[in-house]
Every structure is written in structure tokens, then in C-alpha cells.
Amino acid sequence: MIFQTKPLSASGLKSLAKSPEHYHANHLAQDRVRSESDAMLLGSLIHCMILEPEMLGKYAPMPEGMTRRGKAYTDWTEGEGFGRTVITRKMWEKATAISNRVMKNDMAMGFICGTKRGIQVETLFEWSEVHGGHSVKMNGYIDLVNHNTCRILDIKTTSNADNLSKLAQDGRWDIQAVQYMNAMRETWESNCRSPSPRYRMFFLVVEVNSPFRIRAVELSQSAIHSGRTDRDRLVAEYVRRTETGDWTGCDEPAEIEMPNWFSRTLENLNEKY
């Protein structure tokens, strides 16, 4: 067994897919800075409104007309807003409009609705997998699992849902899907001592700009297969670098090609001059 300071998650695998340095900076470095952008905060708020409305008390929407300065704001943060995540009135109203749109969408609610007994929301799953003779601790914080339909759901917020393939590629949804499907298989077989049913992974993509379009995505089997292959490669690299403690990148020079459009531009210039 390798020594791990923390389990390997989907976000960790995505960081490692960028580079070992990205993984170290985002998940291991003692001086790493955790910050939440407005887009991330809006996404978290939308998740809460849709999946855990009973937890909305952890957010404090600012009163109408209040700004983040002055004695009134200071008094409010030390009173009603104390210990809660402050949300601007504009963000609160936007998140409310988006979540209401989701709640009125039959396709979206088909994923979310079900008996409470058969659904888990915002749940942390932990398990271990054997890779290269090493037991590797894994985890996954999953938005929603519907055990009645064997569906896993992750809600994605975006400013533009036109190009779903690019969103999936840039966000490495393939790695995330494999991580979460493995979570279901490993935890099921560990708890039930029987083969796991086949869980399917869906992404509910919600635009944060009007008209707040909602689209659902399931990756193809070929995308899942390639994601599984790449995930295995990344886990092997994670094991190797965890053993050595070396999270530096490649020291060899990289050979690259110029893009085709650049080469054509040079050819045109040479012909002209």
C-alpha cells in the first residue's frame, strides 16, 4: 500500500491530466490557495437550491440595496450574516431563477425526482482500488445517485451550452464518469457482497445566462472506454509519483509543430514577396 495524504478524487485526476505540477499545486502543496470565484459560488448556490434546499441557511443573501461597504454592511455581517456565505442580491435572484427553471423542466426532474430512500444527494463515497499491486484510496463527492434507476447525475453550470463536446473534453467528463461509476461498483460490491448493477452517468448542463437552457448528456461507450484507459494511466502515474515524491514535469525539450494555418500564411507571404 502506498502512503497517501488524501484519497485520489476526480478533480485530482483532472489536475494530474494537466501535469504533475498542477496536481501538486492544487492538492498537496502546503501553501496552496483555495479561492472561490463568483462563477463557482453561483454554481454551488444553484446546486444547493436544486438538491439540498434545506441547507440554504448556510447562505446569507444581502438585503435589497445593500452594498459591501459601510457600517450597515458591517453590522449585518456581524449579525444576520455572521458565519454564513454572503451572497449578493443579484446572484441570489439569478440562482433562484435558474433553479426554478430546472424544477419546471420535465427532463431534469426525471433525473432528480424519486423516493428519498432510493436517492442520495451530495454524498461522499470512499473506496479502494488495486493498481499495479498497490491499494489506492479513492473518493468521489457525487451530486446525485438514483439507485432506483441506477443513474448518477452531475450538474454542470456554464455560460454557453452550445458545444457540449468541447465542454466535456475541456472538463474531462470522461475521467469523472469512470471515477463515479467505479465508486458505485466498488461500494455496492463491498456492502452487498454481490455483483453491482450497471450504473449510467449523466450530466445535466444548465446555462447561467437567459434563457437558462437545460441539456442532458451521456457520454458514448467509446468515450467511457477511452476515459477508463486514460484514468488507468493517470492512476499508475499517481502511484509512481506518490512513491518517489517527485511531482516535477518533463525535463526534456518538447518538439512541436506550428499550426497548419500558420504554415499556409507563411507560404502565402513567400509567394507574395
Q: Which of 4-8, 49-53, 123-127 has the lowest mean pLDDT?
A: 4-8
Cβ neighbours of residue 198 closer than 8 Å, sequence gap 6 or more: 150
Is residue 272's pLDDT more than 70? no
Helices (H) and strands (E) in the chain — how many of each? 10, 7
What is the pLDDT at residue 115? 53
Q: Which of 161, 177, 162, 167 is nearest to 218 (CA)?
A: 177
What is the pLDDT at residue 273? 63
Over residues 152-177, the mean pLDDT reads 96
pTM, full prediction: 0.87
Which tens digits make up the pLDDT trace of 250-262?
667 878 888 888 7
Q: Which of 234, 262, 257 is nearest to 13 (CA)?
A: 234
Helices (H), 27-146: 38-51, 71-78, 89-103, 106-112
8 A C-beta contact, residue 214 and residue 197? no
Which pairing describes strands 85-87 and 59-61: parallel, antiparallel, or unpaired? Answer: parallel
| 159-170 exposure pattern, b = at least 16 Cβ within 10 A, e = fewer | eebeebeebbee
Which tens digits make up the pLDDT trace of 77-95?
999 999 999 999 999 999 9
What is the pLDDT at residue 29? 86
Q: Which of 162, 152, 216 is nearest to 184 (CA)?
A: 152
The phi and psi torsions of 77 (rounded to 5 degrees) equal -70, -30
Question: pLDDT confidence of 53, banded at 50, 70, 90?
Answer: very high
Which pairing describes strands 59-61 and 200-207: parallel, antiparallel, or unpaired? Answer: unpaired
- At position 156, the amino acid (one-letter code) is K
C-alpha span between 136 and 169 (Å, rounded): 26
Mean pLDDT of the chain: 91
- At position 229, the amino acid (one-letter code) is T
